Every structure is written in C-alpha cells, then in structure tokens.
C-alpha cells in the first residue's frame, strides 16, 4: 500500500506559486504538483479506458449557447432554491468520500464549512472520513446556516442502512441522496498499477466504524453480526487491501440484488420527512421508475466516470431524463462540470442545479477550506457573467431555447488558444 500525505511542504507550495488560479481546472493543475502521484491518480482517474471520464467534460462543448441581447441584466442573481432550501448559486458539492486524503486535519468538515460560507448545499458521503455528527457540529460552530445532505447506499445490512440515515436526520441534515449505480465499483486501473489498494492509515470510513461500536454496545449485537447474518461479510476486509484497487474492498457491503422496492422501503422507513434524491440515474426509464418508487428528485450522474466506462456523458443523458420526469420532480446533475458556462448549459437543458466533485478535492489539497470557498466563488462569477451575456437576469429565466447543437456538429474544430 502506498503512503499518503496530502500536506504541502513550503517547498512544494513555492513550486506552484506560478499557477494563478483562474478557474476550477487550475486547482487540478496545482494539486498535481502537490499530491503523491498515486493519490493524484486515484482522485483524477476513471475506469477502464476512461472514455466516460473524458467525455463528461468534452460533451459540454457540443452544446452551444444562444445569447440574447438588448435585455436588462443589471441585477443578476444566481440564487435558486431546492425543496424550499435557498442556494446562493445553482452549484453544490456532490457527495464524495474520503476528503481527509486532501485535508488531513479537517476532512469533510472543511468542505462543508466552505459550502456554508458560500451559501450552498454540501453532500456528505457515507464513505466520509468525518462522521455525520462531526460535520454537523463543525457547521453549527461556524457562522451562517448549513445546508447538509447525506448520501447513502442500500446495504446488505438494512438495519445499518436505516440507522445511518436516521443519524443524519437527527443531526439536522436536510435531505438524502441514495446512490444506486454502485452495486459494483468500476475497475480503476490506475489504482491497481499504483498499488492503491487500501485506505491509507490513519484514515477510516468513520460512519461504518461507529456503527460497529453501536452494535457491539447494544443488545442488537446478540441478534446481528456486524452486518446482518445473510450478509456474511468480514468487516476487516474494508481496510485489508485484498483487492487490486481499494474501492473494491467495500463492495461487499452493498446489496447486489436491489429493486425499486428498496427505494419505497427507505422512503417510508427513514425519509418520510426528508426529500430523497436518487443519484446515478442515466436513462429516462429509470427516472420514471424512481419517481414511481417515491423519489422526490433524481440526479443524473455516471459517478464522475468512475463507474461504467462507455456510459454516456451526464450532460447528454440529461435531456431525455428531463423530458421523462422534469415536470414532476427536480432533476440534478453532476459529472464533468468545470465552468460557469457548463452550469448554464445544464440549467437550460432542465437541471435544477449541478454538483461538483473532483474539483473540490483538488482545491482542498491546494488550500483547504479557503480554496474550496474560492472555487465556488469562481464558478459563481462565471455563471453570473454567462447569464449576463446570454441576457438572463435570474435562474428562473434560463430556458431550453438558450442552448442548441451546432448545425455542423461543432467542437471538431475546437482547440484552446495557447496564447
């Protein structure tokens, strides 16, 4: 197992001073010189040939904006709302695990406080390195109002599934993401080549560890194993490094025979008072099934190109899903968002808001909480500028007519200026 230390030395920081941070991708450039290569590749890579990883970003360039002129834009507002919760911009931090790999001191607490400072939503992954309660307490001690959501999986151990969601509800989280595209993780060849096959010490998936303690100390310990008896899982395997790539070590936890009844069950048992977003929807058919099962919203996501390689880019899957359920529930999107113009294109195609994942890790590695604040502020400024130039003064004014496909296909002629 490779060692990990995301803390930048003085010499390392001085070596990246020439990188002027002007956009989200600049954080990735800067982080690459700071992070150990195996860690950088773990964060940056996708599965198999990385086709989907690449196309998540490039697909946005096949959608073209149609700017309207001579319209009042003197009072631009990027504010929006989701389930009655106000967001200062239609960009939020998608749930993604192990933030402490990039900020060893604060982990997810830093990212959550950054979202709080900017006034947007933070999604806490079930695979976080800080607990549900630690993140809630960190935000409660900071100025402003937190908008925390919790992300869960359907586990083989249904009691643990429920308890984790109930802990989030008790801690004041305002919504639940249920990730449904991870009955198996895609194979990440970069991790196998680099020997990244276990979570580096001292990091832990603390929410699971606390559940172990709970079962050991409760009467349930006589009724259940660490997972329910039918799960037959060795808890040590999560940290064992038995697999070639470390994410595969946690596959054993997940229910591999899920049905839409599981969504109904979770909604009824734990989310009746919280909005439930189904994350990982890539087809109209599944969007319809999700809503039938009681979902309050769906999230178009291919796991940032880290699940099924060869799946369509999220932005290209968005239109059919909006057409299927957009008049019934909010549709969110992540995977590939790097620019304010990406955000605007997604809104025009029917997304209510978009999430970012990888850029958050790279910002954390470069400058911790303050860098994540700056990342979100950069995106907000880019969204503001794009809205103004396109002649829309607020998010509600963004319509489908704002985007189109190029009549000649476009983008094949695109090369970035090297000035």
Q: In the prediction, which pLDDT does 186 show?
A: 86
Question: Distance between CA atoms of 358 and 341, rounded to whole angstroms?
Answer: 18
* From 128-132, 340-344, 410-414, the region with the lowest mean pLDDT: 410-414
In this predicted model, what pLDDT tens digit does every residue of 39-53 receive, in sequence order?
999 999 999 999 999
User: pLDDT value at position 222?
Assistant: 42
CA torsion angle for 134, 137, 142, 144 (degrees, to 10)?
Answer: 120
Check if the beta carbon of residue 280 is closer than 8 Å to that of residue 179: yes
The radius of gyration computed from the CA coordinates of the chain, to the nearest angstrom, equals 21
Model pLDDT for residues 307-366, shown as the tens digit of each residue: 999 999 999 999 999 999 999 999 999 999 999 999 999 999 999 999 999 999 999 999
pLDDT at 55 over 70: yes
Which of 99-113, 228-242, 272-286, 387-401 comes out lowest in average pLDDT? Answer: 228-242
CA atoms within 13 A on the CB side of 20: 1
The Cα–Cα gap between 169 and 302 comes to: 26
What would the pLDDT profile of 216-272 be if each residue is shown by its tens digit?
A: 555 444 444 444 544 544 566 777 777 788 787 888 889 999 999 999 999 999 999
Q: What is the DSSP letter of 253?
A: G
Omega of the bond leading into 202 within 30 degrees of 0 (cis): yes
**Does pLDDT of 376 surpass 70?**
yes
Q: Are 165 and 266 in contact (CB under 8 A)?
A: yes
Q: Which residue has the higher pLDDT, 236 or 367?
A: 367
Tell if the pTM clears 0.85, that is, is over it: yes
Q: How high is the mean pLDDT of the chain?
A: 90
Asked if 402 and 391 count as a contact pair (C-beta separation under 8 A), the reply is no
242-280 burial code (b ≥16 CB/10 A, e <16): ebebbbbbbbbbbbeeeebebbebbbeebbeebbbbbbb
Relative to beta strand 85-87, strand 80-82 is: antiparallel
Active site residues: 303
Cα–Cα distance measured from residue 361 to residue 221, given in angstroms and rounded to the nearest whole number: 37
């Amino acid at each position: 197992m490779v060692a990990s230390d995301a803390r930048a030395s003085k010499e390392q920081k001085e070596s990246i001073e020439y990188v002027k941070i002007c956009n989200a991708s600049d954080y990735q450039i800067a982080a690459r010189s700071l992070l150990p290569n195996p860690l950088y590749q773990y964060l940056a890579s996708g599965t198999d040939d990385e086709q989907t990883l690449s196309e998540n970003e490039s697909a946005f360039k096949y959608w073209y904006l149609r700017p309207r002129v001579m319209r009042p834009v003197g009072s631009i507002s990027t504010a929006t709302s989701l389930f009655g919760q106000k967001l200062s911009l239609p960009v939020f931090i998608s749930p993604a695990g192990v933030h402490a790999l990039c900020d060893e001191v604060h982990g997810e607490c830093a990212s959550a406080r950054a979202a709080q400072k900017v006034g947007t939503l933070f999604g806490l992954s079930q695979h976080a390195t800080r607990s549900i309660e630690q993140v809630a307490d960190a935000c409660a001690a900071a100025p402003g109002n937190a908008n925390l959501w919790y992300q869960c999986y359907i586990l083989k151990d249904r009691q643990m599934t429920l308890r984790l969601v109930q802990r989030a509800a008790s801690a004041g989280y305002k919504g639940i993401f249920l990730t449904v595209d991870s009955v198996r993780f895609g194979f990440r060849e970069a991790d196998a080549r680099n020997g990244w096959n276990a979570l580096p010490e001292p990091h832990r998936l603390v929410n699971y560890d606390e559940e172990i303690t709970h079962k050991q100390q409760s009467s349930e310990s006589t009724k259940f194993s660490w997972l329910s008896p039918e799960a037959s899982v060795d808890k040590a395997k999560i940290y064992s490094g038995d697999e070639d790539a470390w994410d595969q070590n946690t596959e054993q936890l997940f229910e591999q025979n899920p049905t839409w009844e599981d969504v109904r069950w979770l909604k009824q048992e734990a989310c009746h008072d919280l909005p439930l977003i189904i994350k990982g929807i890539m087809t109209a058919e599944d969007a319809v099934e999700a809503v039938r099962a009681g979902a309050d919203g769906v999230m178009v996501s291919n796991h940032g190109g880290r699940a099924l390689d060869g799946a369509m880019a999220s932005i290209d899957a968005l239109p059919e899903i909006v057409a299927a359920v957009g008049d019934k529930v909010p549709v969110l999107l992540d995977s590939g968002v790097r620019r304010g113009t990406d955000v605007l294109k997604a809104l025009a195609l029917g997304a209510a808001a978009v999430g970012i994942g990888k850029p958050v890790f790279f910002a954390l590695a470069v400058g911790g909480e303050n860098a994540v604040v700056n990342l979100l502020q950069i995106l907000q400024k880019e969204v503001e500028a794009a809205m103004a130039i396109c002649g829309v003064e607020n998010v509600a004014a963004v319509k489908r007519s704002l985007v189109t496909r190029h009549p000649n296909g476009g983008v094949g002629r695109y090369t970035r200026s090297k000035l």
